[in-house]
A = this chain, B = another copy of it.
Amino acid sequence: MSSSFGTDLRITIFGQSHSTAIGVIIEGIAAGEKIDMEQLQEFMNRRAPGKNFYSTTRVETDTPEFLSGLKNNYTCGTPIAVLIHNKNIRSSDYNIFAEVPRPAHVDFTMQMKFGGYQDFAGGGHFSGRLTAPLCVAGGICMQILVRHKISIFSRIASIGGIEDKKPLTVSTAQKKFPVIDDEIGKQMLDCIVAARNDGDSVGGIIECNVFGLQAGLGDPIFDVMENRIAKIIFGIPAVKGIEFGDGFKLAKMRGSQANDQFTVQNKKIVTKTNHCGGILGGITNGMPLNFKVAIKPTPSIAREQESVNLKTLKPTKINIYGRHDPCIVPRAVPCVEAATAVAIYDAFLSAKKYFNLE
In the complex, whether A154 has a CB less than 8 A from a CB of chain B is no
- Contacting A79 at CB < 8 Å: which of B14, B118, B297, B310? B14
Q: Is the CB of B355 within 8 A of A101?
A: no
- Give how many copies assemble into the complex: 4
Do A251 and B294 touch across chains, with their CB atoms under 8 A apart?
yes
B113–A216 touching, CB < 8 Å: yes
B-facing mask of A213-224, CB < 8 A → 1, else 0?
011101111111
Instruction: Tell me whether B20 and A256 are in contact (CB under 8 A).
Output: no
Q: Contacts A1-B28, A125-B220, A277-B240 given: A255-B109 contact, CB under 8 Å?
A: no
Tell me, yes or no, whether A239 is within 8 Å of chain B by CB: yes
Q: Check if A298 is an interface residue, CB within 8 A of chain B.
A: yes
Given contacts A240-B244, A353-B353, 5 further A-B contacts (CB under 8 A): A16-B76, A103-B260, A112-B283, A123-B281, A227-B235
Q: Which 5 A-B pairs have the closest CB atoms?
A: A106-B281, A241-B243, A2-B219, A2-B223, A109-B283
Interface residues of A (CB under 8 A from B): 1-5, 7-8, 10, 12-16, 19-23, 25, 27-28, 30-32, 65-69, 71, 74-81, 83, 101, 103-106, 108-110, 112-119, 123-126, 130, 158, 160-161, 195, 198, 200-205, 214-216, 218-224, 226-227, 230-232, 234-235, 237, 239-248, 250-264, 267, 269, 271-272, 276-277, 280-286, 294-301, 303, 305-308, 310, 313-315, 349-350, 352-355
